[in-house]
A = this chain, B = another copy of it.
Amino acid sequence: MKLLKEKIRQDALILDNSIIKVDSFLNHQMDIHLFNEMGKTFRDYFGWGVQKIVTCEASGIGIATIVAQYFGCDVVFAKKEASSLTDDNFHTAPVYSYTKQKESLFRIDKRFINEGDQILIIDDFLANGEALSGMISLVEQAKAQVMGIGVAIEKGFQNGGQMIRERGYNLKSLVIIDEIQNNKLIFRE
């Protein structure tokens, strides 16, 4: 996606040749015009039939709500709990965060995903795929269908994207960064 690439080129900060900071437009301050363009791109790619969008707190929520407008559907976001206490009313999945170096528990109330629902999963970043795997698990525990997975930025030099595609999911990353060389980003064409 051209606009997102331009935005990354202009505004992303690169730290230590491995960390890409996009907090000025994606996951702290949020560029609503850009999110709308992302919504159009996802709609063109995934087409119709999405009945609900699933995302996770916190930075997925803004993108997911704007994207939902292009599918005419609602959003449910997985809550991240520090505790590992399970509760029969929730689907739960343990998710390890490499950034925060700790495990948390994703949970969604069972009332909000129904058997057979056609679900689009949306998130801001894909690196190791831990968060996406957690969301896929929540959807499939509910016997709903993962119609597709839409991600703003995939770090192609980590293995999450490959792992998700090999599992057979229809994954669309708007931008894939394959490498960081001397603090310069190499995009996949």
Contact = CB atoms under 8 A, between A and B. Distances in A.
Interface string A111-135: 1100000000000000000000000
Contacts of A79: 28, 58
Nearest to A68: B32
Chief secondary structure at chain A's binding surface:
mixed
A185 interface: no
Contact of A58 (B35, B36, B58, B76): B58
A13 B4 CA distance: 41
Interface of A: 23-24, 28-32, 35-36, 57-58, 61-62, 64-66, 68-69, 73-77, 79, 108-109, 111-112
Q: Quickly give the copy total for this chain.
A: 2
Given A57-B58, A75-B62, A79-B58, A109 B28 contact: yes
A65 B35 contact: yes
A24 B57 contact: no
A15 to B, nearest CB: 13
Given A57-B58, A58-B57, A79-B58, A65 B30 contact: yes
A30 B76 contact: yes
Contacts of A64: 62
